[in-house]
Amino acid sequence: MNQSQDSKSRPRVGIASLGAAVGGLAMALVLTQCVPAAKAQTPSSERIVAAGGAVTEILYALGLQDRIVGVDTTSLFPASALKDKPNVGYVRALSAEGVLSLRPTLVVTIPNAGPPDTLKLISEAGVRIVQTPDDQSAAGVIAKVREVGRLTGAKPEADKLAAAIQTRFDALAKARTALDKPKRVLFVLALQNGRPMVGGQNSAADAIIKLAGGINAANAIEGYKPMTDEAVIAAAPDVVLMMNRGDPATPTPDVFALPAFSATPAAASRTLIVMDGLYLLGFGPRAADAAHDLMKALYPEKAAQLSVLPRP
Amino acid sequence: MNPVLEARGVGFRVGGADLVRNASLSLFAEEFTVIIGPNGAGKSTLLKMLTGELRAHSGSINYGSAAVEQIPAWRLACERAVMAQAARLAFPFTVYEVVRLGVDGVGRAKDRQSLHQMVAQALASADVTHLAARSYQTLSGGEQQRVQFARVLGQLKAGSSMAGQQVLFLDEPIASLDLCHQFDLLDTARTQADSGVAVLAVLHDLNLAITYADRLIVMKDGMIMAQGSPAEVVSDALLKDVFDVSLLIETRDGMPCILPQSRVSDRRLRGQDIQDSAA
Amino acid sequence: MTAVSSIDMDGLDSFVSRRRHEALQVTLGLAFAAIGLAVLSLGIGAVPIPPENVLKVLVAQAMSDGQILQGRDALVILNIRLPRLMLGFMVGAALAVSGALMQGLFRNPLADPGLVGVSAGAGLAAAVMIVLGERYLSGLIGKMPFAALPLAAFLGGLVSTLLLYAIATREGRTSISTMLLAGVALGALAGAATGLLAYISDDRQLRDLTFWSLGSLGGATWTKVTAIAPIILPLLLAVPLLARGMNALALGEAEAFHLGLPVQRIKGLAILLVALAVGASVASAGVIGFVGIVVPHLLRLVVGPDHRLLLPLSALAGGALLIGADMIARLAVAPAELPIGIITAATGAPFFLWLLLRRSQGFEP
């Protein structure tokens, strides 16, 4: 472009300099791309991308964390996972080139990872993609552990872990029989604008409440839905259950100050239980512990009998 | 001589009301025809039917031997140009570009240089060459009107090689113009007529209509009340019946001349009467 | 734009040739920018590939050298970056040209391709597929797992446009203002239906809806590129034909007719081609905002409103813009990626506000 500098040519000069700036920036990016990846090589041949919090948790529990080359944003436990490993984004919005840039040999995902075109491209690049079963039950957790173990060639470790988890679920089932008067639990996912979003049937919250020997007070609802104030009163929960994101310092809103909740039995006894979200709802290897912790919190009078769960 | 355009018994109806009824007229080459009439007389509606923009509900309109609705739009654009009442432009086109629009459609086959020549000529004819680089949207109403006139002149010029006979329609072309440019525009239109174009204009200024028109068409309530030379048409009765005013008409050099001043003196006189009777 | 206030006959010639010269400069500048961005976007990404390898792969592709084409670099460049580049350019060009056409048709510089109802219809159809698809249409999805959603979105967009067109057309004439109003109503209706679907959706489907509404070029495949090319190309090929019509329409519909334009046919053609192209864009890349408004608007400031220049340059600039935005989307949080709609809206909206501010300061009415 020539150098005509009257006021009229300003927009074009603007475009030119913008182009130059974009070009320069892009060049800089190219140069940084040429520097070899900073992440250290793992000794094992298998390079795994874990897409899904439960998958990551199981891999860590199996001691395979060194083989993980990338995790997704839902991999919140252990906390070191997202700190040490590159983040490939949300499990349902993966990037084909992003995942391939980690040079994985295996991508283990929870069901419904995606988008489908991305998974197709990744598998076309010769990377094995396996989806694990994801039943929100004791059997589901065991199956998930065994599947991950089978995929990673860590069958003995997985069998051992699965057995330990099974023992704990068995103990949990036994503890449930000892409960005489089950409590009604209302899981509140969020309190946007004072309107509660609760966990109904077929939600992970429902499953964990049942495992912990409670009754889901929001039985009439399917999935996670907003609940009206009157429905909250009608549900008559003995306990309100909420979650935080692994940070105990996060202040929980004072639910019992809300009119709907103030009329519930839970308000009378001021029983609010707050637990870590992934721990509570993730249905990973710690699901039995989470259910057990919840049980202890629900039935403090039986805490003494419940305090011990077999350790692996 | 055959008319360039002939309308027979044309009517247009909207929602049960007749906007134009049984109107017949002919436009001839080299003739400057002016439609006059009060507001709501159906002048613009009639014009829109003649240009092909509105389809007449009854009657027929022919350009030469072809019915107007049978002529494709591109062909019609060669045979007639239309300057409508104040046109708003959606984007900041320059004056040059607006006039260029007039020649681009019709003169598609011509080379760039001759199109440019036509635009330059049209700009000069409408005395807007000095505005060529300005954005149309920043012009005054009168300047915009002159630019539209230039665009129409450009279209006529571009179409002239394609059509034997052409019609120029002007709908209140001088409404926003200063006195000097009113004369300029009508002079240019007159020149177009002299060069063989049939000109049809809607005007409100009766004196200018009388001055420039070869033929006057008087409309009221959707009907043509009278047509003929100004000398034949303009009379005390016409002013009273059509415009509902009584004004003095003088004759100068054989042409009628209407004196609005007479109304002022008339009112003064009547005022005197009222005062007298009150006393 | 108009520094020169007064011109004589000689000045007119030089004014015209200067404008032509400026237009050429801008065209060349944009072409270089588009080519440059295209080359860059082939060269960079989450997978580090040295420039010489990029070149090698491209040469190997041209010579069909099987050895190199088996490698991972080749796969990344030829099956991920190249289709993504093509998709991005086509979608960007389609959105920008559609925006410019809609602005010309509605005679309003703030019109947007969404005005013909494509986005509303496509959005609703996509929501139906996401939320109800697994439950009620599993047979269809099973048969074509990758095409079901885009196909539904495309058809949804087309159906809603045809509906709008039918509502606004009386006695062979399409009322643009009726279409605008009906579009608002139809948009509200589709929005309500989409809201209802969002309400009954589960957590995962809700996130899918969100991501879809933010747009992404991720998952671009050759299948997608070859599927949408024949739908978008007619719009780009019709640009010279439509440009003349849009110029005349700027004077008003009646004036356009007086100038010899088949107004109804131009309107119908423009609406159909825009509906097809935007439908294909939305179907393949989700909702990408602001390209359709900002690109034509910026170009109008630079080269003026003549559509014969504006439309082709919109295609070029829109394509280049989307390639650039997609590079940011791919690299900003690599190995993850941002939805591209966030980037176009985040850069487009402030820019747009700036334009409005400039205008309200008496720059141009």
Any chains having at least 3 CB pairs less than 8 A from chain B are C
Residues in chain A with CB shorter than 8 Å from the CB of C216 are: 93
* Cβ neighbours around B187 below 10 Å, total: 12
Candidates C101, C251, C355, C359: best to mutate against B (most CBs of B within 10 A) is C251
Which of B88, B91, B98, B128 should one mutate to test binding to chain C, selecting the residue with the greatest count of C CBs within 10 A? B91
Nearest to B91 among C8, C252, C305 (CB): C305
Cα(C191)–Cα(C185) distance, integer angstroms: 10
**What phi and psi, each to the nearest 5 degrees, are found at residue C46?**
-65, -35
Task: Give pLDDT, residue A1.
Answer: 38
**Residue A34's pLDDT band (boundaries 50, 70, 90)?**
very low
- Whole-number Å distance between alpha carbons of C91 and B209: 57
For A126, A217, A241, C46, C88, the CA distances from C216, given in Å and listed in that order, are: 24, 40, 37, 16, 9
Chain B residues with CB inside 8 Å of C14's CB?
none
Q: Is the predicted pLDDT of residue A155 greater than 50, yes or no?
A: yes
> For C109-123, what is each residue's pLDDT tens digit?
877 877 777 888 888
In this prediction, residue A42 has a pLDDT band, given cuts at 50, 70 and 90, of: very low
How many angstroms away from the CA of B25 is the closest CA of chain C?
21
Q: Which amino acid is at C129?
A: M
The answer to whether the CB atoms of C251 and B124 lie below 8 A apart is: no
Chain C partners of A93 at a C-beta cutoff of 8 Å?
211, 216, 218, 336-337, 339
Per-residue model confidence (pLDDT) at position C261: 92
Radius of gyration of chain B (CA): 20
Amino acid identity, residue A65?
Q
Mean pLDDT lowest for which of B42-56, C153-167, C168-182?
Answer: C168-182
Q: Which of residues 146-175 of C touch A (CB under 8 A)?
A: 146
Chains B and A touch (3+ CB pairs under 8 A): no
Global confidence as pTM: 0.82
Which residues of chain C does B74 touch, with a Cβ-Cβ cutoff of 8 Å?
260-262
Q: Give the H/E segment covering residue B80.
A: strand B80-83
The mean pLDDT value for B37-53 works out to: 94
Contact B11, B49 (CB under 8 A): no
**Which among A165, A179, A162 has a CA at the least distance from the CA of A295?**
A179
Beta bridge partners of B7: B25, B61
- Cβ pair A47, A103 in contact under 8 A: yes
Instruction: Tell me whether residue C78 is exposed, middle or buried, using C-beta atoms within 10 angstroms of its C-beta: 0 to 12, 13 to 18, 19 or more.
Output: middle
The residue ranking higher by pLDDT, A171 or A15, is: A171
| C29 contacts on A by Cβ (under 8 Å) | 1, 12, 15-16, 19
User: Are residues C318 and A71 in contact, defined by beta-carbon separation less than 8 angstroms?
Assistant: no
Task: State residue A43's pLDDT score.
Answer: 42
- Compare all CA atoms of chain C with the CA of A51 and give the residue at the minimum distance: C336
Please answer yes or no on whether A12 and C50 come within 8 Å at the CB atom: no
Nearest CA of chain B to the CA of C296: how many Å? Answer: 12
Cβ neighbors of A217 (< 8 A, separation 6 or more) are: A184, A185, A186, A235, A236, A237, A238
Shortest CA gap A202–chain C (Å): 10
* pLDDT tops 80 at residue A205: yes
CB under 8 Å to A129, separation ≥6 — which residues?
Answer: A106, A107, A109, A119, A122, A123
- A166-175, A295-304, B258-267, C94-103: the lowest-pLDDT one: B258-267
Cβ burial C24-40 (10 Å sphere, 16+ → b, else e)? ebbeebbeebbebbbeb
**CA C143 vs CA B201, C127, C138, C199, C237: distances in Å:** 68, 19, 8, 28, 33
- φ/ψ of A196, rounded to 5, equals -80, 135
Q: What is the pLDDT of residue C6?
A: 62
> Per-residue pLDDT averaged across A136-148, rounded?
91
* Shortest CA gap C237–chain B (Å): 19
B206 to chain C nearest CA, in Å?
27
DSSP for C8-35 reads -HHHHHHHHHHHHHHHHHHHHHHHHHHH
To the nearest whole percent, how much of chain A has pLDDT over 70?
80
Q: Which residues from chain A sit within 8 angstroms of residue C40, using beta carbons?
A: 23, 26-27, 30
CA B31 to chain centre: 13
Interface confidence (ipTM) of the complex: 0.91
Nearest CB among B72, B96, B104 relative to C244 is that of B104
Q: Which of C20, C171, C259 to mutate to test the interface with B (most CBs of B within 10 A)?
A: C259
Query: Which positions ≥6 away from B14 have C-beta within 8 Å?
Result: none
**Cross-chain CB nearest to A95 (options C22, C221, C336):** C336
> Would you tell me which residues 59-78 of chain C have a C-beta closer than 8 angstroms to some C-beta of chain A?
72, 75-76
Report whether pLDDT(A4) > 80: no
pLDDT band at A249 (very low <50, low <70, confident <90, very high): low
Nearest to A97 among C33, C46, C51 (CB): C46
pLDDT of A312 above 70: no
**Which of B66-75, C133-142, C335-344, C346-355 is the least confident region?**
C133-142
pLDDT value of residue C3: 43
C247 to chain B, any CB pair closer than 8 A? The answer is yes
CA distance B236 to chain C (A): 38
Give per-residue pLDDT as tens, C194-252: 889 988 887 778 877 888 888 888 878 888 899 889 999 999 999 999 999 999 999 99
The burial class, CB within 10 Å (0-12 / 13-18 / 19+), for A130 is: middle
Report d(CA C251, CA C246) in Å as an integer: 9
Q: First-to-last CA distance in chain B? A: 64
- The answer to whether the beta carbons of residues B5 and B61 sit under 8 Å apart is yes
Q: Which of C337, C342, C343, C347 to mutate to test the interface with A (most CBs of A within 10 A)?
A: C337
Which residues 303-322 in chain C show a CB within 8 A of chain B? 304-306
CA separation, residue B170 to residues A76, B185, C85 (Å): 76, 10, 53
Least Cα separation, residue B89 to chain C (angstroms): 5
C near B: at least 3 beta-carbon pairs less than 8 Å apart = yes
Residue B225: both structure tokens together: 């009340």
pLDDT of residue A16: 47
Backbone torsions φ then ψ of C51, nearest 5 degrees: -50, -40
Spell out the SS3 assignment of chain A.
Answer: CCCCCCHHHHHHHHHHHHHHHHHHHHHHHHHHHHCCCCCCCCCCCCCEEEECHHHHHHHHHCCCHHHEEEECCCCCCCCHHHHHCCECCCCCCCCHHHHHCCCCCEEEECCCCCCHHHHHHHHHCCCEEEECCCCCCHHHHHHHHHHHHHHHCCHHHHHHHHHHHHHHHHHHHHHHHCCCCCCEEEEEEEEECCEEEEECECCHHHHHHHHCCCEECCCCCECEEECCHHHHHHHCCCEEEEEECCCCCCCCCCHHHCHHHHCCHHHHHCCEEEEEHHHHHCCCCCHHHHHHHHHHHHCHHHHHHHCCCCCC
pLDDT at B263: 72
Query: Each residue of C50-106: pLDDT tens digit?
Result: 888 888 888 888 887 777 777 788 888 888 899 999 999 999 999 999 999 999 988
Report the distance separating Cα A120 and Cα C169, nearest Å.
44
| Chain-chain contact of A9 with C333 (C-beta, under 8 angstroms) | no
- What is the per-residue pLDDT across C242-272, written as a single tens digit (0 to 9) for each? 999 999 999 999 999 999 999 999 999 998 9
Q: Do C260 and B75 count as a contact with CB atoms less than 8 A apart? A: yes
**Vertex B153, ends B127 and B101: CA angle to 5°?**
100
